[in-house]
């Protein structure tokens, strides 16, 4: 879904602090701002990967997709993925879409870099259908004032605690 703007809203008063037009991002930076639900993205990537043949630089190549396999080692420079069953795969591309605690991170980030530092911050993600929001009078007021794009609701009273909500539509 293409996003048209990025607004910042005072999370206490619900008054808009700033609204930035990002509708021309494709012209200004070469690509539009878009949002997609992560499951939709995963399904779209899987569908593309399952295409029987792909053309790369005019050459037809088939794609062998390996699912439900445990990766035990990766040599990212050589493009070799070793699996728990003892097999190895020579690959052109590795997509590590396994989240913040990626099993592949150790193979592409210097192990001496401590990535485990506790920031004291937490993030919670959830989906809420608009139909559910429309059942609440307060939520209806929010929907009526919400711009088409990303809305960042910030706590301006306790700014040191960095509490905020990011709200955007990710499906039609």
pLDDT, tens only, 13-63: 888 899 999 999 999 999 998 888 878 888 888 787 776 566 667 777 667
Is residue 18 annotated as part of the catalytic site, yes or no?
no
Distances (CA, A) of 67 to 14, 97, 114: 45, 12, 30
Domain membership of residue 15 (yes or no) is yes
Domain membership of residue 119 (yes or no) is no
Residues 61 and 96 in one domain: yes
Domain count for the chain: 2
Domain membership of residue 49 (yes or no) is no
Residue located via tokens 């980030």: 109
Dihedral through CA 38, CA 129, CA 136, CA 5, nearest 10?
Answer: 50
Mean pLDDT of 85-97: 84
Mean pLDDT of 143-149: 80
Residue located via tokens 């088939």: 62
Mean pLDDT of 63-76: 82
Between 115-119, 128-132, 139-143, the lowest mean confidence (pLDDT) is in: 115-119
pLDDT band at 116 (very low <50, low <70, confident <90, very high): low
pTM above 0.85, yes or no: no
Catalytic residue chosen out of the listed positions 2, 50, 105, 125: 125
Domain membership of residue 40 (yes or no) is no
Please state, as a whole number, how many other Cβ atoms lie within 10 Å of the Cβ of residue 113. Answer: 8
Question: Contact at 8 Å (CB) between 27 and 21?
Answer: no
pLDDT band at 94 (very low <50, low <70, confident <90, very high): confident
- The residue segments making up the domain with residue 78 are 55-108
Euclidean distance between CA atoms 40 and 150, whole angstroms? 19
């Amino acid at each position: 879904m293409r996003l048209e703007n990025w607004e910042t809203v005072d999370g206490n008063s619900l008054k808009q602090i700033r609204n930035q037009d990002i509708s021309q991002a494709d012209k200004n930076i070469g690509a539009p701002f878009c949002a997609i639900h992560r499951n939709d993205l995963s399904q779209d990537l899987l569908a593309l990967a399952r295409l029987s043949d792909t053309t790369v630089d005019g050459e037809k190549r088939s794609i062998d997709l390996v699912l439900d396999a445990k990766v035990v080692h990766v040599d990212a420079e050589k493009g070799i993925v070793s699996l728990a069953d003892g097999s190895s795969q020579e690959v052109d591309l590795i997509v590590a879409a396994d989240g913040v605690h990626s099993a592949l991170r150790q193979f592409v980030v210097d192990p001496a870099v401590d990535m485990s530092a506790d920031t004291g911050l937490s993030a919670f993600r959830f989906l809420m259908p608009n139909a559910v929001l429309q059942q609440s009078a307060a939520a209806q007021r929010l929907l009526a004032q919400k711009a088409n794009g990303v809305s960042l609701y910030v706590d301006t009273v306790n700014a040191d605690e960095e509490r905020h909500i990011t709200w955007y539509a990710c499906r039609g």
